Chain A
Amino acid sequence: MSKVVEISPTTRHEGHSKLVLKVNDDGIVERGDWLSITPVRGVEKLAIGKTMEQVPKIASRVCGICPIAHTLAGVEAMEASIGCEIPEDAKLLRYILQCANRMHSHALHNILSLPDMYIPGTDVKINPFTKEEPVRSVALRIQRLREIGQTIGEIVGGEAIHPSNPRVGGMYKNISPRAKAKIYDLAKESRVLAQEQMEFMIAVFRNYQKRDWAEVGGVEVPILKDLGYHNQGYMATAPMYGSSSLDENPTWFPERFTEVRPWDWYMGEVEIDEADPNYPIGGTTPVGNKAWPQMEACTGVPLYDGQPVEVGPRARLVQFKNYDEKGAIGLQIARQMEFPETAYGIIDAVDALDTSGSVLADDIPQGDGTLGWAANEAPRGTDVHLARVKDGRVQYYGMLVPTTWNFPTCSRALTGAPWRLAEVIMRAYDPCVSCATHMLVIDEDKRLVAQKLIQ
């Protein structure tokens, strides 16, 4: 007889989500539903009728962790719709921005996932805020990496959070030679730090993989070898930057994308009949409460070729670098393996950058209502924005963001894992829930009337 456990809210990730898990007598998940319960942003609705310059700026406000990805995807969706090619130097600046954002975001995620892990060779859980070595110097290294990423983002983007410099048609400003030198110095410094950080994190994750058990809320939970395995496909558009409908060979295909409503995807109403008050951070939801995932989920369920797919670091590595490790830890390791490339990417791009080159297209068409899309490889996966621009105004705007893709995929990856480790699997996806939330319209009988905006 299966029982239902609910972990709400889930912790140590961006946004507000919960896990509703059907578990068997051994505490193994038979069916897991991971769903977003973040309040709806409504950005896609706000965008309609606004000028094409305004909309990417509004879109970036959906969240503060990867605003750079949303700005770039938004700006490029506009450019794709109006058919505007931007100068090479503007592309390089955007590439630097992208690398800087990924460097900071991956480093930030390290802080979030470390507390699940153990200092290699011991049974001591890592507290990233302790003063004790070796954790202290790792925390400082993470902070420095984030500082470098954010500083470079600030120089190139005008602001590290919600960058002001990218605009439809290129960038507002090129950087000065002095700023170029500063970026180069910072990237050189981070290259070494990123390598060290990658090696340390991989050692920690490998050590976790080799352990027999992990302690969660005072219970020793077996770590299965296939923790977080799933059989879904992967979707990625580029190893680092992205793709758009302007590309000669686009790597994302809108016709392969479909979407179902959460009503048709998630579990119906269930009563919670198992709880653990000792589970970290306040225990799980007490017995007797009810959960209704198909009503509560605030996201659509996007499908690619009719199936949920995984996006993110592993998807990129699988598609472009022949990586093949499955499971939660495989995903974590893939993320660390992207670290050095962020620093190398900045160094290469800044080398190629001409600081006196023009960064704004000579001619910016105002659009004729063509559908354009741009996919940006945000730190946590493919972020696709779609837009129709006519006479400089946005007629339609859609955001297909990374974690929306990962919700159903990760839910499948939960099957077969001990429920106390479900959060460890979920955190491996580096979820960023707030941008994944979309508008639902519910009538008085709490029935889903329409779930529109993307389709």
Chain B
Amino acid sequence: MDVLGNYKSAISARSTDKDIQKKAQDGGIITTLFAYALEEGIIDGAIVAGPSDEPWRPEPTVATTKAELLAAAGTRYTISPNLYLIKEATRSYGLDRVGIVGVPCQIQAVRKAQLYPIGMRDVDDKIALALGIYCMENLSYQALEAIVEDHCNQKMESVKKMDIGKGKFTVYTERGAVSQMPLKLIHKYVQPGCHVCLDYVANLADISSGSVGSPDGWSTVFVRSMKGNEVWDGAMAAGLFETKPMDQVKPGLDLVKKLATEKITKNQKNVDARKTVGLKADGTPKGLRNPYESP
């Protein structure tokens, strides 16, 4: 099984924009691509995880300027229901070309909405750029609070950055404290839905990006679709990224493949287990619907 999906090229990259580098989680790929697409008129606005009233709780926002994009840069390890705005973006926001960023399941939803636009009248043709980010699993806001405040013993308000890498969840505070906890302790907080997801690197996005496989401060980028390729080439030609070929960086594509395989094999077991969940009246297994099989 091809765990990384179809892609035209895989590159290790980093934004050359100093402002973005400062704010970004890793390579600043998504922010830079959206900024470029806005500048070039490829999109009129992008649905991103913007800031909200609570610390580290993202709120879906329509960004139409680079400043708004910068305010939304960086990863918050909790859910931002970006799809919630996709219809409204084409309505009261008046956008004709919408960019959207999301984790794999959200990109699946975008594609499903395009394929079968029920309740999405005049939305499907207005999605101009769908960018995906890698996702192993996701946490609710309450779970993130518990992890940061109870396990890591830091106040949410004072956290400067959160990071997942090398088997650890790390919290950096404004006063310089660094607090870590092993990732495996997080698993009990993971949303149940994440246990049946068979997509790690946003296989259906135009471009997907994430830190795994590249050195610190860099991101691994998969350019997948024709549209994604066009945008990527344009951004490269404009000098917005510095890149390294994937085979020259450590830990390289093998790690991405390893994690993707891990996620998919683990979750496939859950998908299979659900086939026998519950019993029908006659005693045979009822089974939950497998989202990856057509009925």
Contacts and interface: CB of A to CB of B under 8 A. Distances in A.
> Does A associate with B in a complex?
yes
B94 A176 contact: yes
A81 to B, nearest CB: 27
B64 interface: yes
A101 to B, nearest CB: 16
Interface in A162-200: 165, 173-176, 178-183
B121 A175 contact: no
Contacts of B91: 154-155, 158-159, 165, 179
Nearest to B87: A158
A165 B87 CA distance: 12
Contact of B93 (A159, A160, A161, A179): A179
A158 B122 CA distance: 11
B94 A175 contact: yes
B206 interface: no
B88 A173 contact: yes
B121 A178 contact: no
Nearest to A163: B91
Interface string B72-96: 0000000000000001101111111
What range describes how many residues of A lie at the interface? 10 to 19
A181 B92 CA distance: 11
Contacts of A178: 44-45, 64, 93-95
B94 A159 contact: no
A179 B94 contact: yes
Given A154-B122, A178-B44, A178-B64, A173 B92 contact: yes
Contact of A175 (B44, B92, B96): B92
B121 A181 contact: no
A159 B122 CA distance: 9
Contacts of B122: 151, 154
A182 B92 contact: no
A214 B269 CA distance: 73
Given A154-B122, A159-B121, A182 B94 contact: yes
A178 B121 CA distance: 20
Contact of A155 (B45, B64, B94): B94
B138 to A, nearest CB: 28
Instruction: Tell me what chain B mostly uses at the interface: helix, strand, loop, or mixed.
Output: loop
Contacts of A180: 94
B21 to A, nearest CB: 29
A148 to B, nearest CB: 13
A176 B121 contact: no
A182 B97 CA distance: 13
Nearest to B123: A154
A178 B96 CA distance: 11
Contacts of B45: 178
Contacts of B94: 155, 175-176, 178-183
Contacts of B44: 178
Contacts of B96: 182
A174 B92 contact: yes
Contacts of A175: 92-94
Contacts of A161: 121
Contact of B92 (A151, A160, A179): A179
A291 B46 CA distance: 61
Contacts of A151: 122
A173 B91 CA distance: 10
Contacts of B92: 155-156, 158, 165, 173-176, 179
Candidate in B93, B94, B95, B122 with the most chain A CB atoms within 10 angstroms:
B94
A160 B93 CA distance: 15
Nearest to B122: A154
Contacts of A173: 88, 92
Nearest to A183: B94
A346 B93 CA distance: 18
A335 B151 CA distance: 70
Interface in B16-60: 44-45
5 contacts: A175-B94, A176-B92, A176-B94, A178-B95, A181-B94
Interface of A: 151, 154-156, 158-161, 165, 173-176, 178-183
**The 4 nearest A-B residue pairs measured at CB:** A179-B94, A182-B94, A175-B92, A178-B94
Given A175-B93, A179-B92, 16 more contacts: A155-B91, A158-B92, A160-B121, A161-B121, A165-B91, A165-B92, A174-B92, A175-B92, A175-B94, A176-B93, A176-B94, A178-B45, A178-B94, A178-B95, A180-B94, A181-B94
